[in-house]
Amino acid sequence: MPHMGNGNWIVIADASFPKSTHPGWKTVPMGIDPLEALRDVLASAKAYGHVKPTVWLEREVFAINDGELASINEFRESVETLSANLYMDASLTEAQLMTRLREVAMHHRVIVIKTPNPLPYSSIFIQFTRGNWSPEQEAAVRARLAQ
């Protein structure tokens, strides 16, 4: 976490998540439960304090129900509970998030923690912004620069 900064991403990936060959993208296979990994990443970000996480889920995970895939509701609820008090977004599809990651990896580090999680569309994307700076403060600076 001390090496992560504004613009970096960590992905807690499900088992079917692809390995990229892009130099800005590092995949680390780990036999860890994705919710445990999320808990650890968020706790580390909070402890260091220099970055603020935004949690992204693939939009598809909300289109699947327990009748189609047992435990998907429990997974979503657990991610939401662990991400309480953080900004969380599920407005982008898997393809849109992957496009965003490829763009980010051109200039920033993307770390992928590949887990054995078999649930489809259950990768958790964590985007980092400045932890000591609010969106309102950033908007004010950008407005002054535009003048």
Q: Residue 68 maps to which CATH number?
A: 3.40.1650.10
Write out the residue range of the structural domain in which residue 139 sits: 9-146
- pLDDT value of residue 104: 94
Query: What are phi and psi for residue 11, nearest 5 degrees?
Result: -115, 125
Asked whether residue 1 is assigned to any structural domain, the reply reads: no
How confident is the prediction along the chain (147 residues), in pLDDT tens digits per residue? 888 999 999 999 999 999 888 889 999 999 999 999 999 999 999 999 999 999 999 999 999 988 888 889 999 999 999 999 899 999 999 999 999 999 999 999 999 999 999 999 999 999 999 888 887 888 899 999 999
Q: How many CB atoms lie within 10 A of CB 46?
A: 15
Asked whether residue 3 is assigned to any structural domain, the reply reads: no
Beta bridge partners of 53: 128
Q: How far apart are CA 101 and CA 6, in angstroms?
A: 14
Query: What are phi and psi for residue 8, nearest 5 degrees?
Result: -80, 155
The answer to whether the beta carbons of residues 66 and 110 sit under 8 Å apart is no
Question: How many structural domains comprise the chain?
Answer: 1
Asked whether residue 25 is assigned to any structural domain, the reply reads: yes
The model's pTM: 0.91
What sign does the dihedral 123-111-81-52 (CA atoms) show?
negative
Asked whether residue 128 is assigned to any structural domain, the reply reads: yes
Could you tell me the CA-to-CA distances from 121 to 59, 93, 97, 107 in Å, in that order? 8, 9, 11, 26
